[in-house]
Amino acid sequence: MIVLALCLMWLTPDNEALLRRAAEIPASKRMERVLELSGGQPESPAWRDYAAASDAMVTWFNLAVSQDAESSALADAIEQNMGRMLLTDDWTISQEFMIRRYLELNAEALALIRRATDRPILGLPAEGILRPSALNFSHAIRPFTAGRLALLKAADDARRGEWKQAWEWNHRAACCTQHLMQLASVIARGAAWASEARQRAQALAFVHRAPEHAPRDPLWRDAAAAARTASWDAVTEAELLLTLDYTERLAAWASGAADEEIGSIVEVAVAGLGDEEGKGALGDGGMRFDSVAEFRKAMRGWTSAKQLETEVALGRIYADWNQRPFHECLREIRERGDEAELRRRVRAALIRSPASRLFHGVFSQPPEHSRRRAEHSRMTAAAVSAIVKLTAHQQRHGVLPKSLAEVCGAELPLDSYSGTPLVYRQIGDAEFTLYSVGFDGDDDGGRVTPIGGTEDGDYVFWPPVVPKWVGN
């Protein structure tokens, strides 16, 4: 469970001593302490305040594991504390730490969202770009409330000894926490994207305002340099929209309004990876336990060392991606059909790792995902530089260049997905388009990649476009 992972990050010698003291508390008193830590009754103001922050928690966790130093620290914490926490005989002790960590991290994440929504996020004038009103604080409140309510229900079920319901509600609370953290992460990227887009707009404004003096103008050079270093991600605004849409459905599910199969099974879903035996009740993939005894049996003997060993094995599957050009790896996958094999190997590793399933796929994110984003950012920065040069050439000479080589020389902007220069084409006498062939490696003539899980289409850098939604 994601919340348990965060608990492990938080454990210190002092907290371990607290855990030992908690173990000495009579079982009848422990759940009273859990409810006390959770803030009281659901209808109380303190409860509503706590519920208002739950959406943002997982973003901080994802940001932490995305950094090597933080990942190392997290691995050390898991090595020291994971087996002890997972194999504890009294689940309510872990629940107490989870609730406390919810309170701390969710408050931080909610504060981040509040700061971001107090000012424009993507306040660009272009039609179709998100307005600041597209995201408001209420989007964070709903999942936070749902996650907090689910956590209280888990504590209440555990107090009555209804462990299957308790695990189910606890999983829903963890999902809300993960989503809130992701929402905060998207907001942070959106703010960075807006800043980079403004830099690009400034560079182009200098080009159009003083074309004859622009190349020698220090201000123009500074703006052009800023545009070259920008790593604009064309998917950011669409990702935010998709996140907001998902927020509503997640809140309904976590609060129980959309799914009445509470307590039928104990299941921990694996995000993004299917299970060969079929779909679980919580989505594609999953691991079912018909009783808490079966769950404990699966976990018994599973040490933190085995967990770390599994994660290292998963990393080795994709290690080659970080040593070779990105387009070569993609070509081999397409030609040899390795993608299915890679997914099969990852799935097999997860099946051997019950602990991985508890963390809802957080430790199982393919390392090539970050590599792909980094490659796309570098490609975008090169594309922005080329756009500035193409526009400057048009303003100085009145016509567009026939090729990128005329303005870029030997430093042609390369397409990370094909290993060849970006596609440059003139549209009439005064317009042009610049795009990448995209993940599938096929030149679709500048057709925009739809948002919604497909890998088809091209990445168009110019003219600016808003990605289309699948089905629209």
Could you tell me which residues come within 8 angstroms of residue 172 by beta carbon, excluding any fewer than 6 positions away? Answer: 146, 147, 150, 253, 254, 256
Cα–Cα distance for residue pair 289/122, rounded to 1 Å: 45
DSSP 8-state code for residue 413: P
Cα–Cα distance for residue pair 225/218, rounded to 1 Å: 10
Strands 287-289 and 459-462: unpaired
Is residue 414's pLDDT more than 80? yes
Q: What is the pLDDT of residue 182?
A: 59
Region 207-226 average pLDDT:
45
The 10 Å CB-count burial string (b at 16+, else e) for 163-172 is bbbbbbbbbb
Q: How many residues does the chain have?
A: 472
Of the chain, the percentage scoring pLDDT greater than 90 comes to: 0
Is residue 413's pLDDT more than 70? yes
Could you tell me which residues come within 8 angstroms of residue 82 by beta carbon, excluding any fewer than 6 positions away? Answer: 8, 303, 304, 307, 355
Backbone torsions φ then ψ of 217, nearest 5 degrees: -80, 125
**CA nearest 263: which of 154, 149, 354?**
154
Of the chain, the percentage scoring pLDDT greater than 70 comes to: 18
pLDDT in tens, 24-36: 444 344 334 434 4
**Between residues 250 and 57, the one the model is more confident about:** 250
Region 177-193 average pLDDT:
57
**Between residues 236 and 106, the one the model is more confident about:** 106
Q: What is the pLDDT of residue 389?
A: 80
Whether cis (ω within 30° of 0) applies to the bond prior to 367 is: no
Is residue 405's pLDDT more than 70? yes
Assess contact for 48 and 152: CB atoms under 8 A: no
**Between residues 463 and 29, the one the model is more confident about:** 463
Beta strand extents in 171-262 (DSSP E only): none
**CA nearest 145: which of 172, 126, 167?**
172
Q: What is the pLDDT of residue 436?
A: 84
Least confident of 272-281, 308-317, 324-333: 272-281
Region 63-80 average pLDDT:
38
Region 352-376 average pLDDT:
46
Is residue 277's pLDDT more than 60? no
Cα–Cα distance for residue pair 423/195, rounded to 1 Å: 26
DSSP one-letter string for 150-195: HHHHHHHHHHTT-HHHHHHHHHHHHHHHHHHHHHHHHHHHHHHHHH
Please state whether the predicted TM-score (pTM) of the whole model is above 0.75: no
Using 50, 70 and 90 to split pLDDT, how confident is the model at 379?
A: confident
Q: Name the residue with tokens 């080009």.
A: 207
DSSP one-letter string for 49-110: HHHTTGGGHHHHHHHHHTSHHHHHHHHHHHHHHHHHHHT-S-HHHHHHHHHHHHHHHHHHHH
12: amino acid identity, one letter: T
Is residue 319's pLDDT more than 70? no
Q: Name the residue with tokens 């739950």.
A: 54
**Between residues 212 and 150, the one the model is more confident about:** 150
